Structure 1
Amino acid sequence: MGPTSTSPSAQRSRGRPRKMTVPEAVTTALRLVDEDGLDSLTMRRLAAALDVQVGTLYRHFATKQTLLAAMAEEMLAGCAGPLPDGLTWREQITELAGRLRMALLRHRDGARVYAGTHSVGPNTLSYTDTLVGVLRETCLSPEAATRTALTIVHFVIGHTLEEQAAQALAESELPATLTLLHAALDPGTYPNLAAAEATLTSTDFAGHFAHGLNLITKGLAGE
Structure 2
Amino acid sequence: MSPTPEQRRAARHQLDTGSPAPAARRGPSGGRKKPITVDAIVSTAFGIVEREGYEALTMRRVATALETGPSSLYAHLVNKEDLDELLIGRLCAQVELPEPDPAGWRQQIIDVCTGLRDQYLRYPGISRAAFAAAPSNRDTLRVGEGMLAILLAGGIDPQTAAYAIDSLTLYVNAYSLEVSLANRRLNSSDDDWVVSREELLRRFAALPDTFPHTKRYAAELTAGTVHDRFDFTLGLMVDGLPGARREP
Which structure has greater helix proportion?
1
Deviations 1:197-217 (A, max 9, x none): 334445711100011011112
Aligned-pair Cα RMSD in Å:
3.0
Q: TM-score, normalised by structure 1?
A: 0.82
Equivalent pairs counted in the alignment come to 215
The answer to which of 84-93 and 149-158 deviates more is: 84-93
Mapped pair 1:196 → 2:217 = yes
Counterpart for residue 49 of structure 1 = 65
Aligned counterpart for 1:114 among listed residues 120, 130, 138: 130
Q: Which runs of 5+ in 1 are unaligned?
A: 1-6
CA distance in 2 between partners of 1:55 and 1:158 (Å)? 33
The percentage of counterpart residues that share the same residue type is 26
CA distance in 1 between partners of 2:103 and 2:110 (Å)? 10
Counterpart for residue 156 of structure 2 = 140
Mapped pair 1:174 → 2:194 = yes
Task: Could you list the structure 1 runs, at least 4 aligned residues long, displaced by more than 4 angstroms after superposition.
Answer: 83-87, 176-182
Corresponding letter in the other structure for 2:195: P
CA distance in 1 between partners of 2:201 and 2:181 (Å)? 17
Deviations 1:168-219 (A, max 9, x none): 2224131389847853662612222223333444571110001101111221
Mapped pair 1:35 → 2:51 = yes
Mapped pair 1:219 → 2:240 = yes
Secondary structure of 2:62's aligned partner: helix
Q: What does 1:95-110 align with in structure 2 at a 5 Å threshold?
A: 95-110=111-126
Go from structure 1 to structure 2 and tell me whether the alpha carbon gap of 1:97 and 1:197 turns closer, same or farther (over 3 Å shift).
same
Deviations 1:70-91 (A, max 9, x none): 1111111221433597961111
Q: TM-score, normalised by structure 2?
A: 0.75
The answer to which of 207-216 and 115-124 deviates more is: 115-124
Q: Give the conservation status (yes or no) of the 8 Å contact 1:89–1:135.
A: yes
CA distance in 1 between partners of 2:70 and 2:238 (Å)? 46
Secondary structure of 2:27's aligned partner: helix
Corresponding letter in the other structure for 2:47: R
